[in-house]
Chains A and B, each alone.
Chain A
Amino acid sequence: MKTKLLKPRISSPAPNSSASLRLATSGQAFSLSAPTQPPEYQEEMEPVGYDFGLKRRSFVQLLGAGLLLAVSAAPALAQRRGGRGGGGGARNIAARVHVGKDGTITVMVGKVEAGQGARAELSEAAAEELRVPASRVQLVMADTSLVPDDGFTAGSGSTPRTVPAVRHGAAAAREALITFAAQRLSVDRRLIQVEDGKAGSAGSQAKVSYADLAADADAAKALDQAIPSDIALTSVAQWKVLGKPTQRPNARDIVTGAHQYPSDISRPGMLYGKVLRPPSYGAKLATVDLAPAQAMKNVVAVRDDEFVGVVAPTAFLAEKALDAITPTARWDFTPQPSSKDLFDSLRRHAQGGVPANPFVDVLAQAKQALRQIYQIAYAQHAPLEPRAAVAEWAEGKLTVWIGSQNPFGCRSELARAFHLGEAQVRVVVPDFGAGFGGKHTGEAGVEAARLAKAAGRPVSLRWTRKEEFTWAYFRPAAVIQIEAGLDDKGSLTCWHFVNVNAGGAGIETPYRIAKHRSESVRSEAPLRQGSYRCLAATGNNFARESFMDELAVAAGADPLAFRLAHLDNTRLRPVLETAAQRFGWQESIKKKKPNVGVGLACGTEKGSYVAACAEVEVDLTSKRIAVRRVCQVFDCGTILNRSNLLSQVQGAIIMGLGPALREEISFENGEILNASFRRYQVPRFADVPELDIHLLDSPDHASAGAGETPIIAIAPAIGNAVFQATGQRLRWMPMRVG
Chain B
Amino acid sequence: MDSTITFTVNGKSRTVTTDPQRPLLDVLREELKLTGAKYGCGEGQCRACTVLVNGKSVAACITPVADADKQEVLTIEGLAKGDRLHPVQEAFLVEGAFQCGYCTSGMIMGAVALLRENPSPSEDDIKTTMQRHLCRCCEYPTLVKAIRRATAATPTR
Indicate if the CB atoms of B134 and A684 lie closer than 8 Å. Answer: yes
Take A264-B35, A383-B100 as given contacts and tell me if A257 and B26 are in contact as well, using a CB distance cutoff of 8 Å. no
Query: Is B41 close to A, CB under 8 A?
Result: yes
Closest CB of chain B to A300's CB: distance in Å?
Answer: 17
Q: Answer yes or no: A30 CB below 8 A from chain B CBs.
A: no
Total A-B residue pairs with C-beta atoms closer than 8 Å? 167
Encode B66-89 as 1/0 by CB contact (under 8 A) with A. Answer: 000000000111011000010001
Partner of B127, one of A257, A258, A685: A685
A685 vs B142: C-alpha distance when bound (angstroms): 11
A261 at the interface (CB under 8 A from B): yes
Whether A272 and B30, one on each chain, are in contact in the complex, defined by CB atoms closer than 8 angstroms, is yes
Q: Are A257 and B77 in contact (CB under 8 A)?
A: yes
- Contacts A677-B46, A684-B131 known; A314 to B140 CB distance under 8 Å? no
Given contacts A316-B19, A383-B136, A643-B96, contact A257 B36 (CB under 8 A): yes
A691 adjacent to chain B (CB < 8 Å): yes
Q: Is B157 an interface residue (CB 8 A)?
A: no
Residue in B40, B77, B99, B135 whose Cβ sees the most chain A Cβ within 10 Å: B99
B134 in contact with A384 (CB, 8 Å): yes
A95: interface (CB < 8 Å): no
What's the nearest-Cβ distance from chain A to residue B93, in Å? 5
In this assembly, does A303 line the interface, its C-beta being within 8 Å of a C-beta of chain B?
Answer: no
Picked from B33, B45, B75, the residue with its CB within 8 Å of the CB of A678 is B45
- Does residue B114 face the partner (Cβ distance < 8 Å to A)? no
Among candidates B77, B79, B136, residue contacting A384 with C-beta atoms closer than 8 Å = B136
Q: For chain B residues 96-152, which have a beta carbon within 8 Å of chain A?
A: 96, 98-105, 108, 126-128, 130-131, 133-144
Residues of A within 8 A of B143 (CB): 685
A313-335 vs B, CB cutoff 8 Å, 1 = contact: the mask equals: 01111000000000000000000
- Contact of A433 with B100 in the complex, beta carbons under 8 Å: yes
Q: Are B141 and A248 in contact (CB under 8 A)?
A: no
Question: Which interface class (under 10, 10 to 19, 20 to 34, 35 or more) fits A?
Answer: 35 or more
A432 close to chain B: CB less than 8 A = yes
CB pair A384 B135 closer than 8 Å: yes
Q: How far is the CA of A260 from the CA of B35 in the complex (A)?
A: 8
B25–chain A nearest beta-carbon distance, Å: 9
Given contact pairs A254-B104, A255-B93, A650-B141, A263 touches B136 in the complex (Cβ within 8 A): no
Complex CA gap A650/B23 in Å reads 35
Q: What CA separation (Å) do A688 and B22 show in the bound complex?
A: 36
Interface residues of B in 14-42 (CB under 8 A from A): 18-19, 21-23, 26, 29-30, 33-42
Distance of A386 Cα from B134 Cα, bound (Å): 14
Say yes or no: is A607 at the interface (Cβ < 8 Å to chain B).
Answer: no
A691→B30 contact, CB < 8 A: no
B9 at the interface (CB under 8 A from A): no
Q: Is the CB of A678 within 8 A of B127?
A: no
Contact assessment for A257 and B99 in the assembled complex, using a CB-CB cutoff below 8 Å: no
Tell me whether B7 is interfacial, beta carbon within 8 Å: no
Most central of B33, B40, B46, B93 by chain A CB within 10 Å: B40
B42 to chain A, nearest CB (A): 6
| B46 partner, pick from A255, A260, A384, A651, beta carbons under 8 A | A384
Residues from chain A with a CB closer than 8 A to the CB of B127 are 685-686, 688
B96 and A314 contact, CB distance less than 8 A: no
**Contact in complex: A384, B35 (CB < 8 Å):** no
Report the minimum CB–CB distance from B109 to chain A (whole Å). 9
B contact residues, range: 35 or more
Partner among A317, A382, A647, A676 whose Cβ is within 8 Å of the Cβ of B99: A647
A465 vs B26: C-alpha distance in the bound complex, in angstroms? 15
Is the beta-carbon distance between B138 and A654 smaller than 8 angstroms? yes
Contact code string A98-118 (vs B, CB < 8 Å = 1, else 0): 000000000000000011110
Tell whether A259 is near chain B: CB-to-CB under 8 Å. Answer: yes
A688 lies within 8 A of B136 (CB)? no
Distance from B47 Cβ to chain A, minimum over Cβ atoms (Å):
10
How far in angstroms is the closest Cβ of chain A from B16?
Answer: 11
Q: Which of the residues B37, B80, B100 comes within 8 Å of A114, measured between beta carbons?
A: B100
Chain B neighbourhood of A308, CB < 8 A? none
Q: Is A398 an interface residue (CB 8 A)?
A: no
Contact B136 A434, beta carbon cutoff 8 Å? yes
Residues of B within 8 A of A462 (CB): 39
Instruction: Tell which of A248, A315, A433 has the most Cβ of chain B within 10 Å.
Output: A433
Q: Is the CB of B98 within 8 A of A254?
A: yes
Please encode chain A, from 665 to 678, with 1 for each CB lying within 8 Å of some chain B CB and 0 for all others. Answer: 00000000000111
Given A256-B89, A257-B35, A465-B41, the answer on whether A688 and B101 have CB atoms closer than 8 Å is: no
> In whole angstroms, what is the CA distance A688 to B137 when docked?
13
Q: B26: which A residues are within 8 A, CB to CB?
A: 314-316
Q: A433, A655, A676, A685: which contacts B131 (Cβ < 8 A)? A: A685
Q: Closest residue to B100 on the A side, CB-wise?
A: A115
Residue interface bits A112-138, CB-to-B below 8 A is 1, else 0: 001111000000000000000000000
| A682 in contact with B136 given A254-B101, A261-B102, A385-B38 (CB within 8 Å) | yes
Q: Would you give 14 A-B contacts (Cβ < 8 Å), ordered by A?
A: A115-B98, A255-B108, A256-B77, A258-B77, A263-B35, A272-B30, A384-B38, A433-B100, A650-B141, A655-B137, A677-B134, A685-B126, A686-B127, A688-B141
Apart from the given pairs A384-B135, A684-B133, A688-B141, 4 other A-B contacts in the complex at a CB distance below 8 Å? A383-B136, A433-B38, A647-B99, A650-B141
In the A-B complex, the 4 residue pairs with the closest CB atoms: A257-B36, A115-B100, A433-B102, A115-B99
